[in-house]
Amino acid sequence: MLRERPDTASPLCGIPLALKDVLCVENVETTAGSNILTRFVPPYTGTAVRRLFDAGMVCVGKTNCDEFAMGSSNENSSFGAVGNPWDVERVPGGSSGGSAATVAAGSVPCSLGSDTGGSIRQPASLTGVVGFKPTYGRVSRYGLIAFASSLDQIGPFARTVDDAALVYAAMAGHDPLDSTSDPRPLGDPTSEIGGGVEGLRLGVPDEYFGEGIEPAVRVAVEDALRVLESQGTVLQRVSLPTTDAGLSVYYIIAPAECSSNLARFDGVRFGLRVERPSVTDMYLATREEGFGPEVKRRVMLGTYALSSGYYDAYYRKAQKVRTVIDSEFTRAFEQVDALVCPTSPTVAFPMGDRSDPISMYLSDVLTLPVNLAGLPGISVPCGFSDGLPIGLQVIAPRFEDSRVFRIARAYEQATDWHTAAPPLGAVA
Amino acid sequence: MAAPLTSIDNLSLMTLTPDDVDHVAALARLGLDAAERRRLGAELEAILQHISVLQRVDTSDVAETAQVGDLVNVMRDDEVGPCLGAAAALRNAPRSDGDYFVVNAIQESEADG
């Protein structure tokens, strides 16, 4: 699908790209990993993808994902699970598991995912690649099948920070087709990428190194902090005391928005329809057959949280605690230039290991506060535990996306974790 | 449905009756079989109990955050631009006729109830 007249001056011209299957591409089946969108063929291409096509990138395939991007293991797809290239019996993370795995396996140099609570950074961490979630509003959501609109952002996966930054720079910037797209000038997000980190103050949030973090993850990230310190950064402990409530805020706000966004899948205009004599019964039967268990769980949870009598106790309360979490990040950024911490509390876990929803939801406990506050965040490879990758997360204030790249790249250049490749010869 | 919740104790002791599950599923226009109803009731109850930690956060005098962007009332000039034609808009429709989406008669569904 090479564009007829691509920008041959772009460094991205001719570079293969894989797209998470929540990104609409004109005339290419786009399913969101859901039975309800089987055979859905979008009539238009989303803005972020179109800009990459304009730069000459070539889409070589759509990648599997958790249904409607809801999941942390890629086990929720209607079309089967995705294996982790480092150990195919283990999950690649989610929800952008296919996009992460295909870059980790070396099939493509870069891919796009979407990140609502960690769905780019967590699979990047679990598969040993770079994954970047931009500041909310920097990349247009036009043409992204919506999960939770106040949290969703499109972002890149790549083998290096430089590549991720190039892809981001080509797709970011204001889009009048997304009313939440921010109009302030983008500048060149890659211009300071090699500027080094000397003198930068890096905050180490106590709450991100607490209970539930695997010892090997903690050790690898602490080693990474020492590397950054040796490069001239100043490490400083900070506290984000309401971090432990982040999961609860997220699991009200994201399902609430999802229950509203997914109302459009009613069997009338697109997607699956299960015919019944009455329209109401058609809605019920279509959604019963079309949605998988995790989507049903979240639609139910969100509908409950928004329902009369419960709205104040759950939804409004969660929105207020979201404000508290946002304010704590703002206060931390008065003391430090960026935050550094683990991306995921654990390395890749075995398929089928987290059948209890709450244990699965805890996979995103270190990434979802970043979405609640709309911050930019990246995961870069920082080590291994028994042959499974570990990721370092770098988080910056809103619109300081280029600072995230600069810090992540400085770390990457000082280490060689990103050059490791999975032992794919072992795969039959 | 149970009465609206007001206190922390009520929230952490939250239970979902089968009627509650049916009511929420009806609001969500979501068909569920008997096994799904039972499973979801138990799972939602566990999730809601987990979520009750929110009540420990003091939010007196805190405003709600609906979105973190600082954009307000984004408007544009009311100019006609290119848009999808009817054929493209209808291409994914499960049933259509001419320029219309087709569903069974709405009145029948209300009568069926």
Residue-by-residue DSSP string for A38-72: TT---SS--HHHHHHHHTT-EEEEEE--SGGG--S
In this predicted model, what pLDDT tens digit does every residue of A61-74 receive, in sequence order?
999 999 999 999 99
CATH number of the domain bearing residue A114: 3.90.1300.10
- Note the pLDDT of residue B6: 41
Q: In the A/B pair of chains, how many CB contacts fall below 8 A? A: 191
Please confirm, yes or no, whether A119 is among the known catalytic residues.
yes
What pLDDT, on a 0 to 100 scale, did the predictor assign at position B12?
Answer: 52
On the question of pLDDT at B11 being above 80, the answer is no
Is A386 within the bounds of a domain?
yes
End-to-end alpha carbon distance in chain B: 20
Residue A349 is assigned to a structural domain of this protein: yes
Burial grade of A397 (CB within 10 A; 0-12, 13-18, 19 or more) = buried
Interface of A with B in 11-40 (CB under 8 A): 40
Distance from CA of A264 to the nearest CA of B (A): 11
| Alpha helical stretches, state H, A128-266 | 161-171, 215-230, 243-261
Around A112, how many Cα atoms within 13 Å sit in the side-chain half-sphere? 38
Mean pLDDT for A232-242 is 98
- pLDDT tens digits, one per residue of A183-214: 999 999 999 999 999 999 999 999 999 989 99
**Domain assignment of residue A7, yes or no:** no
Q: What is the ipTM of this complex?
A: 0.92
For residue A41, the chain B residues in CB contact (below 8 A) are: 91-92
- Per the structure, the complete domain to which residue A412 belongs is given by 16-240+335-426
With a CB-CB cutoff of 8 Å, which residues 156-215 of chain A face chain B? Answer: 176, 179-180, 182-183
Instruction: Identify whether A5 is part of a domain.
Output: no
Same-domain pairing of A235 and A282: no
Q: Is A414 on the interface with B (CB under 8 A)?
A: no
How do the domains of chain B map onto residue ranges? Answer: 8-59+85-112
Is A328 a domain residue? no
> Which of A361-370, A403-412, B8-17, B64-73 has the least mean pLDDT?
B8-17
Instruction: Give yes or no: residues A205 and A260 share one domain.
Output: no
What is the pLDDT, as a whole number, of residue A74? Answer: 97
Confidence band of A4 (pLDDT split at 50, 70, 90): low
The reply to whether A210 and A253 lie within a common domain is no
Residue of A nearest to B3 (CA): A309
A236 and A251 part of one domain = no
Clarify whether residues A235 and A253 are in a common domain. no
Looking at the fold, whether A90 and A197 belong to one and the same domain comes out as yes
Question: pLDDT (tens digit, 9 = 90+) per residue, A134-166?
Answer: 999 999 999 999 999 999 999 999 999 999 999
In a domain, residue A323? The reply is: no
Residue the block writes with tokens 């080509």: A170
Residues of chain A in contact with residue B60, where contact means CB-CB under 8 angstroms, are none
Residue A1 lies in a domain: no
Is residue A3 assigned to a domain?
no
The answer on A373 and A284 residing in a single domain is: no
Q: Check CB contact under 8 Å for B46 and A248.
A: no
Residue A2 banded pLDDT, cuts 50, 70, 90: low
Q: What is the pLDDT of residues A264-285, one digit of tens each?
A: 999 999 999 999 999 999 999 9
Is B104 in Cβ contact with A357 (below 8 Å)? no
Within this chain, do residues A229 and A146 fall inside the same structural domain, yes or no? Answer: yes
Statement to judge: residues A94 and A41 lie in one domain: yes
The verdict on B4 touching A (C-beta cutoff 8 Å) is: yes
Question: What is the Rg, in whole angstroms, of the alpha carbon atoms belonging to chain B?
Answer: 22
Claim to verify: residue A58 and residue A111 sit in the same structural domain: yes
Residue A158 contacts residue A103 (beta carbons within 8 Å):
yes
Q: Provide the number of structural domains found in chain A.
A: 2
